[in-house]
């Protein structure tokens, strides 16, 4: 048997006190998965208790002390029956045992008739101790049934989970879940049952329930379902506007339960809030994620979320959400352009070029992609290709800003080809259409090459003081400063 390092739950409980519902659900699943493997090998443990459970440094639980565990034999006949094990395990064939631990072992085990469901009883008792933080001997019992009275000690445990723990501890084996697989299936559903229970006992549910009763009294429940759903959505929106997001989710949840189509209204509400939250990127991200939660078929929400993640430098988030957008709208050139910008900003030019080309192939409106691809071709030294792209873009648009950037690329490519007069003409057109800093920097270079020194000085001044965070602009500024000031020389040591 492997040796596990860590602290047993008996010791852990003394130091840390009772566990929360979320931890209890996690731990119960872990232990049932362990038992599933144990029962599948035709063995059951027979001594489950906190001191036989180790919490490892990884956060994973380990079940120890299999010294009293027994393997199934064919001598186990009619005295005891039980299914046990998982769906692939063997059941109803486990050896009789008289081993027991006071307060954790069920009556059938005390009487020498242990079955796989005896492990479930001990598991339930173990979790009563974990969620109460109280030793079982210190908990009262019902005088009639002998059942533990423990729920009033656990305000953190919702009724569906408490009911399930009591079911594990049912007096008779047949009243307990019959296999580990059944328990695992039940655990899958418990979170939703807990959520439904909370909603059913919330003020939201009570109010909506009474609303429906009144509507039913007037004989128009069915016709009023959209009205009720819309009312709940409106109330949720008001709560969200008041920064009470948790209660808003309760209203939205019930609205969708009444009328499933409400999800799109809720999603649109969050999408709009995200669009209006451009100054707070984290908040915008939250709202886009909520928009997707309520409508996971909204390609625009994925695309916008990707762009926000891009601005937050959350690369995996950006790429994953662009990919999700493509799955829903494969021909969305704007999303392709967004991903291209993502790669472009990170100087992953080969990947950016592929996305720009896809965007151009998808739509005649992809003028920004034509412009940016032209720029990449200049950086790659393919000036004639860049010129052809810029000219094609100019033929397809009347947008002033687009034309300005295209003329800038046209002039830049001609400048690299030393066609200075043509470059100057195109760059002047660019600056007249839109006062672009990068166009002024290029124009200054063309003017210098043509010997127009005074004009170049004025244009360089604009290049140096105008606002820009473009990489090329920073490089051009550095070049002119080096020419004016010379190379920086490190001071010599004294």
81 neighbors 87 (Cβ within 8 angstroms): no
pLDDT at 199 over 90: no
Residue 401 counted as domain residue: yes
- Contact criterion met (CB below 8 Å) for 63 and 46: no
HEC per residue, the chain: CCCCCCEEHHHHHHHHCCCCHHHHHHHHHHHHHHHHHHHHCCEECCCCCHHHEEECCCCCEEECCCCCCEECCCCCCCCCCCCCCCCCCCCCCCCCCCCCCCCCCCHHHHCCCCCHHHHHHHHHHHHHHHHHCCCHHHCCECCCCCCECCHHHCCCCCHHHHHHHHHHCCCCHHHCCCCHHHHHHHHHHHHHHHHHHHHHCCHHHHHHHHHHHHHHHCCCHHHHHHHHHHHHHHHHHHHHHCCCHHHHHHHHHHHHHHCCCHHHHHHHHHHHHHHCCCCCHHHHHHHHHHHHHHCCCCHHHHHHHHHHHHHCCCHHHHHHHHHHHHHHCCCCHHHHHHHHHHHHHCCCHHHHHHHHHHHHHHCCCCHHHHHHHHHHHHHCCCHHHHHHHHHHHHHHCCCHHHHHHHHHHHHHHHHHCCCHHHHHHHHHHHHHHCCCHHHHHHHHHHHHHCCCHHHHHHHHHHHHHCCCCCHHHHHHHHHHHHHHHCCCCCCCCC
Residue 167 lies in a domain: yes
Is the pLDDT assigned to residue 219 strictly greater than 60? no
Per-residue confidence (pLDDT) for residue 31, from 0 to 100: 94
CA-to-CA distance for 492 and 490, rounded, in angstroms? 6
Residue range of the domain that includes 417: 364-486
pLDDT at 182: 76
pTM score of the predicted model: 0.52
Looking up residue 453, the CATH number of its domain turns out to be 1.25.40.10
What is the model's pLDDT at position 95? 45
Between these two residues, 380 and 227, which has the higher pLDDT value? 380
Identify the pLDDT of residue 218: 45
Q: What is the pLDDT of residue 205?
A: 54
User: Which pLDDT score, from 0 to 100, does residue 227 have?
Assistant: 74
Query: 268-308 pLDDT, tens per residue?
Result: 889 888 877 878 999 999 999 999 999 999 998 999 999 99
Q: Which of 200, 223, 247 is the last residue of a domain?
A: 200
Q: Which of 200, 225, 248 is the last residue of a domain?
A: 200
Any domain includes 337: no
214, part of any domain: no
% residues pLDDT > 90 (the chain): 51
Mean pLDDT for 229-233 is 84
Least confident of 16-30, 126-140, 477-491: 477-491
Last residue of a domain, one of 184, 200, 216: 200
What phi and psi values does residue 248 have, to the nearest 5 degrees? -60, -40
**pLDDT at position 15 over 80:** yes
Assign residue 33 the CATH number of its domain.
1.10.510.10
Residues 456-471: tens digit of each pLDDT: 999 999 999 988 888 8
Answer whether residue 308 is part of any domain.
Answer: no
What is the mean predicted confidence (pLDDT) over 376-405? 95
Question: Residue length, the chain?
Answer: 494
User: What span, in angstroms and rounded, lies between the C-alpha atoms of 431 and 454?
Assistant: 18
* Structure token pair of residue 319: 């790429």
Contact criterion met (CB below 8 Å) for 89 and 33: no
pLDDT at 67 (0 to 100): 56
pLDDT in tens, 53-96: 999 988 899 888 765 545 544 344 334 444 344 433 334 444 44
In a domain, 135, yes or no: yes
What are the pLDDT digits (tens) for 353-365? 999 999 999 999 8
Q: State mean pLDDT over 231-258.
A: 89
Number of domains in the chain: 2
């Amino acid at each position: 048997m492997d040796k596990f390092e860590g602290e047993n739950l008996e010791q852990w409980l003394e130091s840390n006190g009772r566990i929360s519902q979320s931890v209890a659900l996690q731990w119960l699943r872990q232990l049932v998965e362990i038992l599933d493997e144990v029962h599948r090998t035709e063995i059951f443990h027979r001594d489950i208790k906190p001191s036989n459970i180790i919490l490892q440094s990884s956060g994973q639980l380990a079940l120890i002390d299999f010294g009293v565990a027994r393997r199934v034999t064919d001598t186990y006949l009619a005295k005891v029956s039980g299914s046990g094990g998982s769906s692939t395990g063997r059941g109803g064939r486990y050896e009789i045992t008289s081993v027991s631990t006071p307060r954790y072992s069920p009556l059938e085990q005390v009487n020498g008739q242990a079955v796989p469901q005896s492990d479930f009883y001990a598991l339930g008792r173990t979790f009563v101790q974990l969620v109460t933080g109280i030793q079982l001997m210190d908990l009262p019992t019902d005088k009639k049934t002998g059942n533990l009275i423990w729920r009033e000690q656990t305000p953190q445990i919702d009724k569906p989970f408490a009911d399930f723990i009591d079911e594990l501890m049912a007096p008779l084996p047949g009243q307990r879940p019959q296999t580990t697989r059944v328990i695992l299936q039940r655990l899958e559903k418990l979170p939703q049952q807990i959520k439904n229970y909370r909603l059913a006992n919330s003020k939201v549910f009570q109010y909506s329930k009474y609303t429906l009763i009144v509507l039913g009294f007037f004989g128009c429940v069915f016709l009023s379902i959209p009205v009720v759903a819309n009312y709940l959505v409106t109330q949720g929106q008001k709560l969200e506007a008041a920064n009470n997001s948790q209660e808003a989710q309760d209203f939205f949840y019930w609205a969708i339960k009444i009328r499933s189509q409400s999800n799109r209204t809720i999603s649109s509400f969050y999408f709009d809030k995200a669009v209006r939250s451009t100054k707070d990127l984290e908040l915008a991200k939250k709202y886009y994620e909520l928009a997707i939660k309520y409508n996971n078929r909204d390609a625009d929400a994925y695309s916008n979320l990707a762009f926000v993640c891009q601005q937050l430098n959350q690369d995996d988030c950006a790429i994953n959400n662009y990919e999700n957008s493509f799955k829903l709208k494969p021909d969305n050139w704007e999303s392709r352009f967004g991903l291209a910008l993502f790669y472009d900003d990170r100087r992953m030019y080969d990947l950016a070029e592929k996305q720009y080309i896809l965007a151009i192939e998808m739509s005649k409106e992809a003028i920004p992609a034509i412009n940016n691809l032209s720029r990449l071709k200049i950086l790659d030294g393919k000036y004639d290709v860049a010129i052809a792209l810029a000219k094609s873009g100019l033929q397809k648009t009347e947008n002033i800003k687009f034309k300005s950037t295209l003329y800038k690329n046209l002039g830049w490519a001609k400048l690299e080809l030393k066609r200075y007069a043509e470059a100057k003409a195109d760059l002047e057109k660019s600056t007249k259409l839109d006062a672009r800093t990068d166009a002024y920097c290029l124009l200054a270079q063309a003017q210098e090459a043509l010997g127009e020194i005074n004009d170049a000085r004025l244009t360089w001044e604009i290049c140096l003081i105008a606002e820009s965070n473009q990489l090329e602009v920073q490089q051009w500024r550095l070049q002119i400063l080096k020419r004016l000031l010379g190379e920086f020389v490190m001071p010599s040591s004294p």
